[in-house]
Amino acid sequence: MVNAIIVEPQDNVVVAIEPIKKGETVTYMCAGEQKTITALEDITIYHKLAACDIKKGEPIVKYGEHIGLAARDIKQGEHVHTHNLEEHRENLEAKG
């Protein structure tokens, strides 16, 4: 049963569409293919978890957009939230 979603194939986080308990299988569709991972922590509905291992400093990608950087290494299936994600804003004025 699908219990998470991923919007864009390049996303490295999935969003829980129901509460998920530590150790449960997380199932989602990506580019027409069913994928599964194991939750390493309890995940609240609508919160993110890593679809793959994410190294410190790498961008967190949700809905095809960079939403921040990994503040530390994040393991596949781990909760992704303010404790391990740091805000990162591009300097758009410098590109003008």
Q: 36 near 66, Cβ under 8 Å? A: no
pLDDT in tens, 20-45: 999 999 999 998 999 999 999 999 99
pLDDT in tens, 49-81: 999 999 999 999 999 999 999 999 999 999 999
pLDDT at 91 over 60: no
pLDDT at 86 over 80: yes
**Phi and psi of 82, rounded to 5°?**
-60, -25
pTM: 0.87
